[in-house]
Every structure is written in structure tokens, then in C-alpha cells.
């Protein structure tokens, strides 16, 4: 399959739609009885593509990611993930899909009672892998994100940027098919932001489909990757690419 970063479609009936890893068709979502947070969103992501999700604060970026990592359900429209229609997928099947998705949360959501090492290893452990098969890989990954000397540290003792890098390590450790990152460079300096971007680009090069919600215009511009822009819950055609 040809890798085609930036390949996206605003139209659900585009030719490559069938092979998209993710597609939204007329999706809306609301919290409780509040007005719709996302309205009539349609797009799809080709395998191996790389996109930024941009838009002002409150536009609905985190909410859109939540729909993808299956923590929220649309009030209207169809979402298909890895070719499966989420509306008809039984709940027991969700864990299998979730294991193919890596998520970096805006607020990290590290487990405070576990060491940095245990936090990073979490997805592998949940997937049932024996400890000895992943020990060295996890240590290597943590060294790679600059936490090689903090393996035993508890999250409470990490700086904001360290937490962010730990959250990123946890998201990528299982080599997910899709990586979702919500403001992954919000707490780090320019240099670290570029390093994190390089990590995402490297993962993308190895085949992971990447979607990054970001405010960081500079980073988006530097990466040269296309944008999906949200404004007040609506999506606008990508300008870049």
C-alpha cells in the first residue's frame, strides 16, 4: 500500500473511503442534553496518513478524539474504525479495537500509584504480554523520550514536560495502528516539541496513522503536514497539503 501522508477526504464517498482506517460520516455529538458539541462532521483518514487537528479552544478537538478512542458515542452519524461500523459493534469487541489505538491525553492521565516504567508498560501488560518480553523495550523507549533516568519515578515527582513524554511513551509502546495525541507539545519547550514531532513522524513512517490535536501553529507549519480544522464544532476543508 502506498504511503500517502496527508491523504484525506472530506467526502465520505471518496474512492479510497473503503480502505480508510477511520471515517466519519455526518457525525454529531453532544454531552448530555447540551447543544451539539460537534456538528455534521465527515472526513476519513487513509492508512499511514498524518494530520493535525486544529482550531480554537473549545472547538471540540478533544471531543472528536474521544469519539475515536471510543470514550464517547456520536448522537448522529456513522463512525467506522478499521472498517468496522462502531454503531453495531458489541461492547465486548471494543477492547480489541482500543488496543490498536494509542492515546496521549491532554491532561496525561498517568496512573499516580504506578512508577514511570509501569505507566509506560501498561498497554502491553493489559494486552497480556509477559513482563520479560517487554521489559527491555519499555526501558529503551523511556530512554528515547529522555526518561531513561526516571524509570522508578512516580508521576507526582515528574515535571510537566516529563509527564507529557511519559504519556507519549505509553501511547506508542504498543505500536498502535492509530496514534491520537491531544496537545502533545503543550508543556514542553520548542526543542522538545520538535523532538516529539520527530518521534511521531518516525512512527508514521513505520505505518502508524497519526492525528494530533494542536494549537501550536509553528509546529504544524514546520511539519508540513495537513490540517483538519474545527471551529465551533464544525469541520472545514484542509487548507494545507
Partner 1 sequence: MSAEAAQAFLARWRPGPLMPRGDARDAGLVFVIAVLCFFACLAALAALAADRAAGGWTAQLQGSATVLVRPQGGESADAAAARAAETLSGVRGVSEASALEKDKALALLQPWLGKAALTDDLPVPRLVTLDLDKDAPASAAELQEALKADNIDAVVDDHSLWIKDIVRAGLWARAAAIGVFALTAAAAAVIAYAARSALAARHEIVEVLHVSGAKDPFIAGLLLRRFAGMAFGAGVLGAAAAAAVGAGARALGGGEGLTPALPVAWIDLAALLPCPLLAALVAALAARFAALGLLTSMASKANSFSKDWA
Ligand X SMILES: Nc1ncnc2c1ncn2[C@@H]1O[C@H](COP(=O)(O)OP(=O)(O)OP(=O)(O)O)[C@@H](O)[C@H]1O
Q: Which residues would be at the binding site for partner 1 (CB under 8 A)?
A: 29-32, 66, 69-73, 91-92, 95-96, 98-99, 101, 103, 109, 111, 113-115, 117-118, 121-123, 125-127, 131, 135-136, 139, 143, 148-152, 170
Cβ 40 to partner 1 shortest distance, Å:
17
Within positions 90 to 149, which residues make up the interface with ligand X, using CB under 6 A? 106
User: 13 vs 128, which CB is nearer to partner 1?
Assistant: 128
Report CA Rg, the chain: 17
CA separation for the pair 197, 145 (Å, rounded): 12
x/- site string to Mg ion, residues 59 to 88, per CB under 5 A? Answer: --xx--------------------------
Q: How far apart are CA 115 and CA 213, in angstroms?
A: 27
Check binding of 7 to ligand X (CB under 6 A): no
58 or 160: whose CB is closer to ligand X?
58
3-state SS class at 204:
helix
Q: Pick the closest to residue 240 from 24, 15, 53 (CA basis).
A: 53
Cα dihedral sign, 185-70-166-139: negative
Map residue 55 onto helix, strand or coil. coil
Applying CB under 5 A, which residues contact Mg ion? 61-62, 106
Amino acid at each position: 500500500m502506498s504511503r500517502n501522508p496527508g491523504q484525506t477526504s472530506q467526502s465520505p464517498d471518496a474512492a479510497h473511503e473503503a480502505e480508510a482506517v477511520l471515517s466519519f460520516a455526518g457525525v454529531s455529538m453532544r454531552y448530555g442534553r447540551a447543544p451539539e458539541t460537534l456538528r455534521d462532521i465527515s472526513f476519513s483518514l487513509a492508512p499511514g496518513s498524518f494530520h493535525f487537528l486544529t482550531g480554537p479552544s473549545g472547538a471540540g478537538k478533544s471531543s472528536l478524539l474521544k469519539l475515536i478512542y471510543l470514550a464517547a458515542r456520536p448522537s448522529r452519524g456513522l463512525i467506522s474504525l478499521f472498517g468496522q461500523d462502531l454503531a453495531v459493534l458489541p461492547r465486548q469487541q471494543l477492547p480489541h479495537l482500543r488496543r490498536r489505538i494509542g492515546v496521549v491525553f491532554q491532561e496525561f492521565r498517568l496512573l499516580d500509584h504506578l512508577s514511570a516504567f509501569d505507566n509506560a508498560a501498561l498497554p502491553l501488560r493489559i494486552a497480556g504480554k509477559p513482563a520479560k518480553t517487554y521489559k527491555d523495550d519499555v526501558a529503551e523507549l523511556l530512554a528515547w523520550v529522555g526518561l531513561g533516568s526516571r524509570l522508578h519515578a512516580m508521576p507526582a515527582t515528574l515535571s510537566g514536560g516529563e509527564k507529557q513524554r511519559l504519556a507519549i511513551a505509553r501511547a506508542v509502546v504498543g505500536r498502535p495502528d492509530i496514534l491520537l495525541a491531544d496537545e502533545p507539545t503543550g508543556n514542553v519547550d520548542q526543542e522538545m516539541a520538535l523532538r516529539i514531532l520527530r518521534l511521531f513522524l518516525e512512527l508514521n513512517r513505520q505505518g502508524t496513522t497519526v492525528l494530533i490535536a494542536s494549537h501550536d501553529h509553528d509546529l504544524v507549519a514546520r511539519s508540513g503536514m495537513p490540517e483538519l480544522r474545527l471551529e465551533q464544532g464544525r469541520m472545514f476543508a484542509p487548507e494545507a497539503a
